[in-house]
Amino acid sequence: MNGEELTEQETALYDRQIRVWGADAQRRLSKSHILVYGMKGTIAEFCKNIVLAGVGSLTLVDDRAVSEEALSANFLIPPDESVCSGKTLAELCCDSLREFNPMVRVSVEKGDLASLGAEFFEKFDVVVISCCSLASKKLINEKCRKLSKRVSFYAVDCRDCCGEIFVDLQKYNYAKKKTDGATECELQYPSFQEAISVPWRSLPRKVSKLYFAMRVIERFEEAEGRKPGEIYIEDLPAVLKLKKELCEAQSVNESHIPDTLLERLVMGAKEFPPVCAIIGGTLGQEVIKAISSKGDPLKNFFFFDATDGKGMIEDISNPNLES
């Protein structure tokens, strides 16, 4: 991504943001290739932000047809039913995103990411996934890690008024601004599997309750063979039973995961558009930082709950795995 100058047209179009983060950062953005899976409302917000920022290319993957749930949160889907007929979510969103910034190459790939070989991911600098099962998150993350080049990996989930972002930048170097200039910093990130394998009892007491609640929901959906978000109020007793079992196995108090929080996540499996904007905006900011190597990156979870309006960054890592 280095060595190529911005064109005159790019310099004119991105003049304001070049003044904010510099020509080198914009050049890196314009040469970057982003892969996105799962066109939910949060991902729609993210895609809008990075297309306007001027990434080189954006590839969308989502073979699902338009649903009522998708229409309620994804503003990229045209309201005209005749336009939607016969098109996948990715194809509809692709058409809309091209209008935001004609200089960004937006395209569609078909298929299930989890079944694609590692060579497919080699073409990208960033992989962002949503609507993925626990097994798929682990598998896709590991495929990114096995590549000869570093590929930044993000997993995002938004349910009702709550949202979660997971970040894996592997071994990441970046410039940190200081009053007397900039200093080079390095961070070592765990994989998704390594992060969620950290024993709960070893985590600080003030870790976001959403972290534990999201793990319970993930485990329940996996055990029941459900798709992400395919959970109903009738499932609440079984979810609470699983919570109790997990807390006992992890030797932590059940108060770490309030029943009321799990009830909200079960009842509100759909996205809440204002929260989509917050999570999607945060995700866009983090991806831009990772590509440009400027600014302190998030490590390695971000949680947001609209009921208290708080966003929390949690570093869920096993110190023994870091070098």
Assign 323 a pLDDT band (cuts: 50, 70, 90).
Answer: very low
What does the pLDDT look like over 183-203, one tens digit per residue? Answer: 889 999 999 999 999 999 999
Q: 87-92, long-range: CB within 8 Å, 24+ apart, which pairs? A: 88/62, 88/63, 88/64, 89/39, 89/62, 89/63, 89/64, 89/65, 90/39, 90/60, 90/61, 90/62, 90/63, 92/66
pLDDT of residue 183: 85
Structure tokens at 309: 């309006």
Bridge partner residues of 34 (DSSP)? 58, 126
* Average of per-residue pLDDT values in the chain: 92
pLDDT of residue 322: 53
What does the pLDDT look like over 211-234, one tens digit per residue? Answer: 999 999 999 999 999 999 899 999
Percent of the chain with pLDDT over 70: 97
Instruction: Give the CA diameter of the chain.
Output: 62
Q: What does DSSP say about strands 162-168 and 105-108: parallel, antiparallel, or unpaired? A: unpaired
What does the pLDDT look like over 274-297, one tens digit per residue? Answer: 999 999 999 999 999 999 988 899
d(CA 162, CA 315): 18
Structure tokens at 8: 């005159």
Q: Which of 49, 54, 46, 69 is nearest to 23 (CA)?
A: 54
d(CA 207, CA 214): 13
pTM: 0.94
Q: What does DSSP say about strands 171-178 and 162-168: parallel, antiparallel, or unpaired? A: unpaired
Contacts of 170 (CB under 8 A, 6+ apart): 145, 150, 151, 152, 188, 189
What does the pLDDT look like over 107-132, one tens digit per residue? Answer: 999 988 888 888 899 999 999 999 89
Q: What does DSSP say about strands 301-305 and 181-188: parallel, antiparallel, or unpaired? A: unpaired
Could you tell me which residue, 50 or 69, shows the higher pLDDT? 50
